Structure 1
């Protein structure tokens, strides 16, 4: 039973890779960029999917990073604009208990810590928007989020490469 299931998975992987090879490279890039812009997919799953689909790992990683960074920038710049408009001539409002808990974690770990570790809990887009809404420098948030997006993308690209090699052995 386990052998049959592994064989089916290998055939499915081979079919997916064969289909991907028939697509123009530009379409492969655009596909990975678009799926990586989706919160909860991001650079790590976008790159993973790209490698599993048979796209060259460097291409999959680069496209996934581009999609995730563009999406994150939209969220950060939007949150910064909203916060600037909302706090103009207004006293700060009291945070809800949930946002207060997030603020405490932000105060404890800082921009770098929340950016690097936050993707384990929330998408970079949401994490970055929340950090900016707490008053953090948008430029520092963007810098650390890009580093985080790259690191998570590289880690999952390597995991995908290992997975493809394991499935290919059976």
Structure 2
């Protein structure tokens, strides 16, 4: 799935578009792509995140019960307060991310944390794969804005732990 939708776009396809197969896709094709990604993501999340596995069980659902975007309202929305309670109960990382200690040791890249202004800070461990995918999606975003190789751009974001800043 990652190769098909992420890594396959290593460079722009044309002077105007990075990934025309996605950027020019019909609404129906976009929905099909989203459904395909959902079908891959939910079983992975169920298997690797105790937090989300518990949410599935509490909702009396299995990943296969959510086959399309239209099925998503069956699944309860996750709040930052739930995540903060999870961190408090399972320090220091909580169980909401699918990155376990073994994965972190093997492929860890960087830790980002929310500020904790309105709830307990929530930390996220990201892998080298996340860095690769962020670089590609940020390159696509900048390309869509007209930025090309060799040009300079001013990023109007303050220096903070927000992941967008680090991805560009």
Q: TM-score, normalised by structure 1?
A: 0.29
Tell which structure's C-alpha radius of gyration is larger: 1
* Larger strand proportion of the pair: 2
Q: TM-score, normalised by structure 2?
A: 0.29
More relative contact order in 1 or in 2 (CA 8 Å, sep 6+)?
1
